[in-house]
Amino acid sequence: MAQIATAAGPAARPPKRRRSDGTLRRRRRRPSDYLFFVLFAGPNVALILAFVYYPLFMNLNYSRLNWRIGADTAKIVGLANYKEFFTSGTGLSVWKVTILFTLCTVIGSMLLGLVMAVVVNQRLPGRTFTRTALFAPYVLSGVGIALVWSFMFDPQMGILRYVFEWFGKTSPQWFLHENTTLIAAIIVYIWKYLGYCTVLFFSGLQSIPQDLLEAAEMDGASKTQTFFRITLPLLSPTTFFLLVSMTLNAMQAFDILQILKPTGEGVNTFVFEIYRQSFGVYQRAGYASAISVVLFLTLALITVIQFKFVDRKVHYA
């Protein structure tokens, strides 16, 4: 049996050629190798250059212009658009709303998703239906979800009105004040991504070796100690992936926010402000391009920080 495996395995490969000093000799590339590389990778590289890097460099160029969409002329203003964004009240409001929205939605979705994953990981009746029901909102359109929740938030006819009345309270006017508008948007966003976090955490729980949990139980560890000292560290790859992906998604949120509050008061995140400045009443393409560049650099910086510092805390099995 060992002979058959040896003949069909590594022994069947041609021996590697070595130089006189013992180092491996690199195989010389043939022209056909370069031709195949260009044929297979060329179209993809061309599409990436045309639809990713070309718009990116054009956006950098527009960000130094005072230019309105449709205008024939544009004035070069250098870094004035960036200075206006970092010093104006609107720019500071965009930073505040984006940071609050991102922190609340990422932390809320991941914490609730972890709790629900632990629940559906138990041997309970109907857990398959529960997982399906939790994941369903993630595959639905953000526009449809926002429309449904708009009716639910209605203080006169929405279902939340009856919930508040059951507690003896009056339903707030969700979309008349900036703070309640932001809270409503956070609730809807968490509801949409709760199933996504639950399914990924559930997959992580399923991959934990049972012998580790049984050994901890035999050593007398309580369920709380087992969860925080074994389960949670072994879930760190899933937690890290969700932290990166959820942060990038939250900072680029738009569809739900635009449907809930079309004018943007209270929910003017980065992407919403880019939309308002470029395609709204202002049509300031140059200023919107500068905000886009700031968003791009912010996302790149957050991603680098997460991979450089948070990745060190991840325990890969």
Identify which of 235, 249, 237 has the alpha carbon closest to the alpha carbon of residue 202. 235
Residue 25 has pLDDT above 70, yes or no: no
Number of Cβ atoms within 10 Å of the Cβ of 140: 11
Q: What pLDDT score does 221 carry? A: 85
Q: What pLDDT score does 10 carry? A: 45
The mean per-residue pLDDT over the stretch 7-14 comes to 47
Dist. CA 284–CA 133, nearest whole Å: 43
Residue 134 has pLDDT above 70, yes or no: yes
302-306: Cβ within 8 A, 24+ apart: 302/247, 302/248, 302/251, 303/244, 303/248, 306/240, 306/243, 306/244, 306/247
Tell me the helix, strand and coil percentages in the chain, rounded to 5: 70, 5, 25
Dist. CA 172–CA 151, nearest whole Å: 14
Handedness of CA 272, 278, 284, 286 (dihedral sign): positive
pLDDT band at 22 (very low <50, low <70, confident <90, very high): low
Whole-prediction pTM value?
0.81
Q: What pLDDT score does 293 carry? A: 93
Dist. CA 97–CA 99, nearest whole Å: 6
Handedness of CA 99, 185, 303, 51 (dihedral sign): negative
Q: What pLDDT score does 83 carry? A: 93
Dist. CA 71–CA 286, nearest whole Å: 11
Strand ranges (E), 44-182: 65-66, 75-76
What amino acid occupies position 104?
C
The mean per-residue pLDDT over the stretch 174-190 comes to 90
Q: What pLDDT score does 3 carry? A: 42
pLDDT in tens, 242-268: 998 999 999 988 989 999 988 888 888
Tell me the C-alpha to C-alpha distance, in Å, between residue 49 and each of 2, 45, 56, 63, 290: 51, 6, 10, 20, 21
C-alpha 140 chain-centroid distance = 16
Residue 214 has pLDDT above 70, yes or no: yes
- What single string gives the DSSP state of each residue in 266-315? TT--HHHHHHHHHHSSS-BHHHHHHHHHHHHHHHHHHHHHIIIIIGGG--
- What single string gives the DSSP state of each residue in 159-172? HHHHHHHHTT----
Q: What pLDDT score does 4 carry? A: 42
Which structure tokens are listed for 219?
A: 């050593």
Helix (H) or strand (E) holding 54: helix 54-62
The mean per-residue pLDDT over the stretch 99-103 comes to 95
The residue with tokens 């012998």 is 211
Dist. CA 77–CA 83, nearest whole Å: 11
The residue with tokens 């087992």 is 226
DSSP state of 12: G
* Residue-averaged pLDDT of the chain: 85
CB 113 within 8 A of CB 200: yes
Phi, psi for residue 168 in degrees, rounded to 5: 75, 20
